[in-house]
Chain A
Amino acid sequence: MGTMVTMSEDRRAEGQLEESPWNKASGAFTAWRAGDATAVDELVSTMTPVLWHVVRAYGHDREAAGDVIQATWLGFVRLHQTIQDPQAVASWLITSARRGAAAHARTARRADPVEDEALAAALPDEESAETVVVLDDEASRLWGAVATVDERCRKLLRVIAFMDRPDYQSLSQELDMPVGSIGPTRARCLAKVRTALTTGGER
């Protein structure tokens, strides 16, 4: 576990996580509403990568994920006036992206979602070739561990990892889980990842 902690601290030291995307998003949103037309670009730049991970958690291929994210932004342009609290803009976007991703999963059941995500890093296609290079030992170990847990766990963990304040009420509806079980399920899923890390380490 010690090395993994170092991994995130290293990255923080590089300054990538100095300001959380959620704070940056609400700052940009406030500025945009106040008439700074360019601030919306910053909001989009800040939140698009976050939405990417949230939508990919639902197993959509890269193209479909892009479409879901675009639909999320168009909905935002249409409905942003209904967002009362600027602090809530990140949650609003994430919730909207999750709904879009869940709806898309219901209507387009084509490629096996689990396979798509699992294969993305495992297979040396054009996109993941560079991915494999970037993954350091710790990240590869984590990836391997996550790949061994069930799809439901993987989805839950990926969504929660990119959420500011997990909104368990709506999460429970989309993941078809009772609200009260999300906390324990998350703990159980994390425990599974830990176990897989330990087992993998002994090999």
Chain B
Amino acid sequence: MTTGDTRLLDDLRDMWQLADPPPPGLTSRMIAAVAAADLDQEWELLVLVRDSADEPAAQVRGLGTARMLYFNATEGWSLEAEIDGDQVRGQVLDLDDLSGVEVTLETAAGQSWTTAIDEVGFFSIQAEATGSVRFTVRRGEAVASSRWVEL
């Protein structure tokens, strides 16, 4: 495309922005629609029920440096995770069908690590997880995420 063409297209874009702008309420209507649709999604919350950071260190099986997190899903299963440096190990418990289940660890900075679980629900992730993290368990269409946990 020649420079002249690019300029003319730029000018046309400016012209259309002036001549036929979106109606004033359109953006807020779309924001509301997206917010409502997002709420409709069946995102289950993994509720943090135990956090080693809230307990005296000695009670946590002598794992001085590790952080233990226990999450419950309302459906009755749970997720245990142990974060020790760059090693994250854990287990999905009391879930009837473990096939195809994936665990994702995300940081608020935008990194993410995903792994499958083994036949008894164990998983292990090598991850430089710092700052705020959250866990997501995917089973096909069903997704359960925890809130952000500060490490």
Question: Which residues from chain A sit less than 8 Å from chain B, CB to CB?
Answer: 1, 4-5, 7-8, 11, 30-31, 33-36, 40-41, 44-45, 48-49, 52-53, 56, 62, 66, 69-70, 73-74, 76-78, 117, 120-121, 127, 131, 134-136, 138-139, 142-143, 146, 157-158, 160-162, 183, 186-187, 190, 193-194
B134 at the interface (CB under 8 A from A): yes
Smallest CB-CB separation from B132: which chain A residue?
A: A35
Among B15, B23, B34, chain A packs the most CB atoms within 10 A around the CB of: B15
Report if A44-B9 is in contact (Cβ < 8 Å); known contacts: A53-B20, A135-B19.
Answer: no
- Evaluate contact between B30 and A4: CB separation under 8 angstroms: no
Which applies to chain A's interface (DSSP): helix, strand, loop or mixed? helix
- Evaluate contact between A139 and B31: CB separation under 8 angstroms: no
- Evaluate contact between B21 and A120: CB separation under 8 angstroms: no
- Evaluate contact between A146 and B15: CB separation under 8 angstroms: yes
Distance in angstroms between the alpha carbons of A40 and B107 in the assembled complex:
18
- Which A residues touch B110, using CB under 8 A? 30-31, 33-34
Contact of B9 among A33, A52, A117, A190 (CB under 8 A): A190
- Evaluate contact between B30 and A73: CB separation under 8 angstroms: yes
Smallest CB-CB separation from B134: which chain A residue?
A: A35
- Which A residues touch B35, using CB under 8 A? 40-41
